[in-house]
Structure 1
Amino acid sequence: MWRSVFRCISVNPVLGQRGMSHSCLAGKVAIVTASTDGIGLAAARVLGRRGAHVVVSSRRRANVDRAVAALQREDIRVTGTTCNVGKSQDREKLVQTALDQCGGIDILVSNAAVNPFFGNILDSTEAVWDKILDVNVKAAFLMTQLVVPHMEKRGGGSVVFVSSVAGYQPMPALGPYSVSKTALLGLTRALAPELAQSNIRVNCVAPGIIKTQFSSALWQNKEVVEEFMKQTSIKRVGEPEEIGGVIAFLCSEDASYITGETVTATGGMNCRL
């Protein structure tokens, strides 16, 4: 049987060339929001190492400059600009920067998220919900809406939303944030069939507990980590680069037949709605 499989691969130019090379994204332009630290920076780094020109962004200029310098030291083609995705003028500036500096847009990684609330969900206010949904959900959609026409001009593209295991299993004291991450699972499913006709794939990644500054309140809490370790098969906290690799895969031609899906990268936690 294996002899037949290897024979098939050797004569099929598509199957035979499917390994993800270091230049598999050469010529592509990738916007990554909230990409000066954590998962966003890791995604930009992996995309850049595989040939993409990455456009990184953050609300603070000092963070942008630091990330750009770090990526340039690795010989990654990178452009950086400030962007608060909750503001329409900033979203438009980010897209225009990619067009002016890179000539087009092929990939959007929507990573930006906020969590201004910690506590009983019934104590959350309207202002909390407005902030979380504006940044975590609405801005993700509006960024996609902005980039789609430019992806269409280049014959297609890829959108990846960064959700969370909390989208499947709401975390204690993180109710509104968890709900926003569940919404991204639905947004992925809603957009995928709409954009498939334009050769634009829409997927999502749902990380577990990852060692980032954003999630430090979780992985630095011994009791929280011990509880999560009971639910995982891989008994450790994840690293940002491990999520960056999943994102790069979803943006590559190796994932050309995947759309509307959420990849859970949780160390083996059981994730279902």
Structure 2
Amino acid sequence: MADLFDLSGRVALLTGASRGMGRVMAEALALHGATVVISSRKQEQLDEAAAWINAACARKGLAPRAHGVAAHAGRKAELEALVEETRKLAGPVDILVGNAGVNVFFGPISEIPDAAYEKTMQVNVQANLWLARLVADDMKARGGGAMMFTSSVGALRPSPTQGVYGMSKLALVHLVRNLALEFGPFGIRANAILPGLVRTEFAKAVWDTPEGEERARSKIPLRRLGEPEDFAGVAVFLASDASNYVTGQEITVCGGTSLWN
């Protein structure tokens, strides 16, 4: 049997990938053979992340295969340019990882300013629809592909302080379901990854508190916070032939916290 996790010859485009979960997922895809194009807003951070990934490849005796291309995930024109540059650098896109996201407002949903609501929905939902549409033709032409998008366990429950963020992530889950339905006949799979509380800069305001420490110590069945490294295998699985019959799913990676929700 061929190696189900071999990604040799495939091209992966990842947003929100200069650090944290995105960078870990990009590194894992590269180590399994994919050429990866990573994106976020700042080119300097991307250059550092690409160098990190290429160094990891070198330690395994592999050629450099990571490129960084800056783009703002909430701007359609920049995403269009990102996809075009990806094709120039690496070729048609086989794997899409929509990991960029924002959480710009903490407070009651009834008090969120219109601008904060619109930014949250545009970056967390609409940008991923733009990306899916931009790369779909590449995948159709090659007979299939894999899309994955980072949602959140916040999609599963209401929150007194992060209601719109959770709303956007639930909308993203439904977007994934529709992408799976519409693109399935072309061999394109789409899945959502729902992280729990992960020790990243993005979520630091939540986990780096006495309450966050207590939650990890007593409420998470595995008795620890998630780490970015916990998402390496999930990304490789969803990108590879190992998940050929998995689409339209929500893969919850939360240490067990969603058991009671």
TM-score normalized with structure 2 length = 0.93
Q: Distance in 2 between matches of 1:272 and 1:200?
A: 32
Pick one of 55, 61, 78 that aligns with 1:73. 55
1:270 offset after TM fit, Å?
A: 2.4
1:208 offset after TM fit, Å?
A: 0.5
Matches within 5 A, 1:27-38: 27-38=9-20
**1:49 equivalent in structure 2:** 31
Cα pair 1:231 1:268 within 8 Å, conserved:
no
Question: Hey, which bits of structure 1, 4+ residues long, moved more than 3 A?
Answer: 17-20, 227-231
**1:9 equivalent in structure 2:** none
How many residues are matched? Answer: 255
1:245 offset after TM fit, Å?
A: 1.6
One-letter code of the match for 2:109? I
Q: Deviations over 1:72-125 (max 9, x none)?
A: 212240111101011111101110111111121100000010111111221101
Aligned in 2, Cα 1:80/1:112: closer, same or farther, shift over 3 Å?
A: same
**1:257 equivalent in structure 2:** 245
1:271 offset after TM fit, Å?
A: 5.3
One-letter code of the match for 2:86? A
Cα pair 2:74 2:122 within 8 Å, conserved:
yes
1:61 offset after TM fit, Å?
A: 1.4
Q: Distance in 1 between matches of 2:71 and 2:232?
A: 21
Q: Distance in 1 between matches of 2:157 and 2:259?
A: 7
Pick one of 118, 137, 154 that aligns with 1:166. 154
Q: Distance in 1 between matches of 2:112 and 2:154?
A: 17
1:231 offset after TM fit, Å?
A: 3.6
Pick one of 173, 184, 187 that aligns with 1:196. 184
1:227 offset after TM fit, Å?
A: 3.4
Q: Distance in 2 between matches of 1:270 and 1:61?
A: 36
Matches within 5 A, 1:103-182: 103-182=91-170
One-letter code of the match for 2:180? A
Aligned in 2, Cα 1:272/1:158: closer, same or farther, shift over 3 Å?
A: farther
Q: Distance in 2 between matches of 1:64 and 1:128?
A: 26
**1:270 equivalent in structure 2:** 258
1:243 offset after TM fit, Å?
A: 1.4
1:232 offset after TM fit, Å?
A: 2.2
Cα RMSD, aligned residues only: 1.6
One-letter code of the match for 2:88? D
Q: Distance in 2 between matches of 1:47 and 1:271?
A: 29
1:170 offset after TM fit, Å?
A: 3.4
Q: Distance in 2 between matches of 1:199 and 1:32?
A: 20
Cα pair 1:218 1:225 within 8 Å, conserved:
no
Q: Deviations over 1:190-232 (max 9, x none)?
A: 1101101110000011010111110111110121342365442
TM-score normalized with structure 1 length = 0.89
Q: Distance in 1 between matches of 2:48 and 2:201?
A: 16
Aligned in 2, Cα 1:187/1:238: closer, same or farther, shift over 3 Å?
A: same
**2:61 equivalent in structure 1:** none
**1:64 equivalent in structure 2:** 46
The percentage of aligned residue pairs carrying the same residue is 37
For the pair shown, the structure with the greater C-alpha radius of gyration is 1
Q: Deviations over 1:19-45 (max 9, x none)?
A: 53xxx0010100000100111111101
Cα pair 1:168 1:272 within 8 Å, conserved:
no
